């Protein structure tokens, strides 16, 4: 693939990969996302936090062109999400809350399917798939059915699918939901590796305060569709007290505490429940 930034539109600040301007989405009388403004610099890991129903998933769906905004605007990789959706889609990877890997296929077969969906040239597919499998530590499980994978392996496979075409921006909706602590940390390491080795910008939603603290260069906490607070994790904590945690920041911003909480079937059930609840 050529450099995805070579035809970047001039309306975006040079170092910004994602920019939203009063981004709003309503459903009837309900405002799910209310005039949200965020700027994500190239190479950042940016987090969207908030309780269920705060507007995190709706924001990601708009930024990935799956849902049109009611008003406001946004650019991703330099392209307008409404006026230029095809350009946006070619430059992003997206891992939703819902299980996206097919359990009836092997890991390699899932990646072959993704390569075809991305219209990757046949001459590049095998090398890209091998690269993604090795990067995610799945080369020894590539020929096994995904339904035999652990939850952490499934998530790493989904990351491999999303990075296959070397996107400019990777969107992850609850990337470690339902994973045990060991699997969770492996996914964290892979995300940090993606930023380091591929200079990839990552936007995640999460309920996990430790995850946000460990991964995010900057984050925004959404509450009832609006940004309650935005900034670097350490700055947000220090603004409360020298010993404050992100849990404290969250409680002060939203007035509530946040809680969260395998095999293929367990992962599918957990993510389905999270999606249903918002």
Structure tokens, 264: 């293929």
Whether 253 contacts 209, CB under 8 Å: no
Q: What does the DSSP 8-state code read for residue 40?
A: E
| pLDDT value, residue 178 | 83
Q: Determine the length of the chain.
A: 278
**pLDDT by residue for the chain (278 residues), tens digit each?**
334 444 444 444 568 999 999 999 999 999 999 999 999 999 999 999 998 889 999 999 999 999 999 999 999 999 999 999 999 999 999 998 888 899 999 999 999 999 999 999 999 999 999 999 999 999 999 999 999 999 999 999 999 999 999 999 999 999 898 888 999 999 999 999 999 999 999 999 998 999 999 999 999 999 999 999 999 999 999 999 999 999 999 999 987 654 433 445 555 555 555 444 44
209: nearest Cα among 219, 196, 199: 219
Tokens 């602590």 belong to residue = 181
Which contacts of 248-255 are long-range, i.e. CB under 8 A and separated by 24 or more positions?
Answer: 249/221, 250/49, 250/209, 250/221, 253/221, 253/223, 253/228, 253/229, 254/50, 254/51, 254/54, 254/221, 254/223, 254/228, 255/223
CATH number of 16-261: 3.40.50.300
| pLDDT tens profile 86-106 | 999 999 999 988 888 999 999
Structure tokens, 204: 């995640």
Would you kindly state where each structural domain of the chain is located, as residue ranges? 16-261
| pLDDT tens profile 6-29 | 444 444 456 899 999 999 999 999
| pLDDT value, residue 261 | 37
């Amino acid at each position: 693939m050529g450099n995805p930034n070579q035809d970047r539109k001039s309306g975006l600040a040079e170092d910004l990969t994602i920019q939203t301007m009063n981004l709003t989405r309503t459903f009837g009388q309900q405002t799910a996302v209310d005039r949200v403004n965020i700027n994500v610099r190239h190479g950042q890991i940016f987090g969207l936090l908030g309780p269920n129903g705060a507007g995190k998933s709706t924001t990601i769906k708009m930024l990935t062109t799956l849902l049109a905004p009611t008003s406001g605007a946004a650019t991703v990789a330099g392209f307008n999400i409404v006026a230029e959706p095809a350009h946006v889609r070619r430059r992003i990877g997206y891992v939703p809350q819902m299980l996206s890997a097919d359990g009836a296929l092997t890991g390699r077969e899932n990646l072959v399917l993704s390569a075809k969906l991305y219209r990757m040239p046949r001459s590049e597919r095998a090398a890209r798939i091998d690269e993604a499998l090795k990067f995610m530590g799945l080369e020894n499980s590539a020929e096994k059915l995904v339904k035999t994978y652990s939850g952490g392996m499934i998530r790493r496979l989904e990351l491999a699918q999303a990075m296959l075409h070397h996107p400019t921006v990777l969107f992850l909706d609850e990337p470690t939901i339902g994973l045990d602590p060991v699997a969770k940390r492996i996914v964290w390491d892979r995300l940090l590796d993606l930023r380091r080795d591929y200079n990839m910008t990552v936007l995640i939603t999460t309920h996990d305060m430790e995850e946000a603290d460990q991964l995010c260069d900057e984050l925004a906490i959404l509450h009832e569709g609006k940004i309650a607070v935005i900034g670097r994790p350490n700055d947000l904590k220090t603004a409360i007290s020298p010993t404050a945690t992100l849990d404290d920041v969250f409680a002060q911003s939203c007035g509530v505490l946040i809680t969260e909480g395998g095999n293929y079937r367990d992962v599918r059930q957990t993510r389905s429940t999270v999606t249903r609840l918002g």
